Amino acid sequence: MPHLLNAAYLLTLVLAGPYLAWRRLVQGKDRTGWREKLTGRVEPRAGAGSQDDSPCIWWHAVSVGEALQLPNLIAAVQERRPDVVPVVTVSTGTGLEVARKKLPGIAVHQAPMDFSWAINAFLRRTRPSALALVELELWPNLVRCCEAAGVPVAVVNGRLSANSFRGYRRARPLIRGTFARLGWVGAQTREYADRFVALGVDPQRAAVTGSVKFDGLRTDPRNEVTEALRQAFGLEPTEPVLLAGSTGDPEEGIVLDAFEQIRRAVPDCRLLIAPRHAERFEAVATLIASRGHQTRRLSQIRQASGGRQPAEAKGEASNPQGNDAPRSPVLLLDTLGDLSAAWGLATVAFVGGSLNDRGGQNMLEPATYGAAVLLGPNTRNFADVVAKLTANDAVVEVQDTASLAAASTRFLTNAAERSAIGERAQQVVRENAGATAATADALVALLPVATIGTNVPLARAA
């Protein structure tokens, strides 16, 4: 079976070669990390293979969204087992960059592809005691090789959408063994747990933990990181801000059209756009300029301040256009890893990926800050979270430019209504917290028993 899969993967790579070359040369994607992807030959974990080899959890995240869940999960495990060493892999370049920023001192690698030789090489070099897949990225060679090496595989914060379930079910004869080999699944909802079981997971190994995305969120918009961003952009504490975050094409154009309407009622409103993908930063900056707006870009602000964080710059170069330049109505968050804190700047928050067909992005961060949260209708990736928010009248759905402008104007001009919806959203988050602790408890149960007196210095998650 592994040899057949390896042959199929190689054939796929050959056929996809022209497309991969185009992504690399034209879109700037997948330019690095191919050696680690194809061979699994990463830097060996310190102490691996020695007699005092400490237990290790291999954490795997697909991209940015999954990588952002890791700091709290890793910290929760290490609170319970300080001797456990984390090793992290990420599939995408942007996710890798964010993980390394958020997890200083922890080994973060490009994920090996599902070739048996790459998986086995990675296992030999890192010697994990367990593998934790965040949400779901299930590959047959990965699970089979881990089983052969005695490494239990867990799915944490598991999510299995209706579309994914239908696809897996059609291939059930081929993938049932992969699901059956899973050592534990912590699903976000009962519906997801039932889908895992239907695909072959042992019912005794499937649990409903809730979503870890409800845990560890900032609630105070006056926190130091958010305030540094406010200073960098030159925003006043009481200044109204519409933040459009995790956006994709054509959402930036829709938001800019809506912003023109909003400014007729709220002329001092500022718009902050945070595109989802780094490769679109320049295109979005060009789009903003084409609408006649000067824009301030966080990357340029930081460059002008000598690479220091805005809080360290003490106002220096806070406006690269000059202190006497007109205030830019449109701001661009063209950096990675800053959106979580930037949501604290939002008076009204539009969460992208919902007016195109992406399926939505995480809306809990702006909700926890108490912003008035707006979403498009396409939120299938967060259906359970949206259902909770909707049931508590804690989010508003918009359909197009006109409805986005109307809803934004409504909340920007009505502080009482804005405060009420924000408080309801915060209450939903508080009521659904706790999944991180349950997940950490389950992962610790998969590990070898701790050795008395173990004293292994560990890097902590930031």
Give the burial string for 378-407 (b: 16+ CB within 10 Å, else e).
ebebbbbbbebbeeeebbbebeebeebbeb
Give the pLDDT score at 461. Answer: 36
**How high is the mean pLDDT of the chain?**
90
Tens digits of residue pLDDT in 248-269: 999 999 999 999 999 999 999 9
Cα–Cα dist 192/177, whole Å: 19
How does residue 460 score in pLDDT terms, banded at 50, 70 and 90?
very low
Tens digits of residue pLDDT in 172-221: 988 999 999 999 999 999 999 999 999 999 999 999 999 999 999 999 99
- Domains of the chain in start order, with CATH, are 28-216+434-446 (3.40.50.11720), 224-319+326-431 (3.40.50.2000)
Give me the mean pLDDT over the 298-305 stretch: 92
Q: What global pTM score does this model have?
A: 0.83
% of residues, the chain, pLDDT over 70: 89
Select the more confidently predicted residue: 4 or 314. 4
Give me the mean pLDDT over the 287-315 stretch: 78
Give the pLDDT score at 15. Answer: 87
Cα–Cα dist 275/259, whole Å: 16
Tens digits of residue pLDDT in 411-434: 999 999 999 999 999 999 999 999
Select the more confidently predicted residue: 1 or 449. 449
Residue with tokens 């990357």, as numbered in its chain? 299
Give me the mean pLDDT over the 40-45 stretch: 94
Give the pLDDT score at 319. Answer: 43
The partner residues of 375 in beta bridges, in order of sequence, read 351, 397
How does residue 309 score in pLDDT terms, banded at 50, 70 and 90?
low
Cβ atoms 332, 273 nearer than 8 A:
yes
